[in-house]
Structure 1
Amino acid sequence: MEENITIEFVRNWIEKHHLTRKSYESVLTDALTNNGHYYIDNPYLRDWIRENTGKFRNILPYELNENQQIVLEWLKEMFTDTGDGYFSVIGYLANPTTREDEQDVAYIALSRLNNLEEIHVPAAFAE
């Protein structure tokens, strides 16, 4: 009997094991070599990962540093409080000088991010 593996099941499994994008290669290696019984204790999940490697990688969350997490929480707050669309909120990242209070914790955290770290914040926000 084949079990139906859903995206929601995979997301819950990822969360349960605290996996991130950094875990991708080790989990994939374990799935391909039939190892990884510590993580992948479900043979149907192992098969799903083998057949959906790209999809699996895309649903693994980014591991954010403290400054990225501050900016992400600020973006979530802006999205909820202002009712602006996703691209309007992301626009705040592109033009942080429009902030009323440049001493704001989120603005300071944003100014400390390098280019790669900046890219991960909207990706995490979109998730």
Structure 2
Amino acid sequence: MTPFAALTVFAGLPVRDLEISTPWYAELFGRAPDGHPTPQIAEYYLAESRAPEEGTLQLREDAERAGGGLATINVPDITPVADALARLGAEFATQQFPIQAETVSAVTVGTFHDPDGNAVTIVQPHLR
């Protein structure tokens, strides 16, 4: 076993005002947050199962750090994400890159910035 083996990865983005950011992400994801563990946190469970241990994006109200966050989300199809971002007026251009992997032939990648300036990269792997 490797010295460091993760069971899951949890991404958090700092935002200035949760009352502004939450509706924007709700429009992007097509639903209200799945959880609010504290008044300063909104969580979206992104796996199809909506199980938090399988993938969570957490918005945390933290004005000092807002806009400096980075997150990468793998999706099976990037098109619905691009459509939602277009409705929100967010810039989102994608590029496809070949990959020399056993199960993936290429990836389509695009990055958008949320209203606070956090960068979120969306990746669609193209399976062999």
- Output the TM-score relative to the length of structure 1: 0.26
Bigger strand fraction: 2
**In proportion to residue count, which structure has more helix?**
1
TM-score of the aligned structures, taking structure 2 as reference length:
0.26
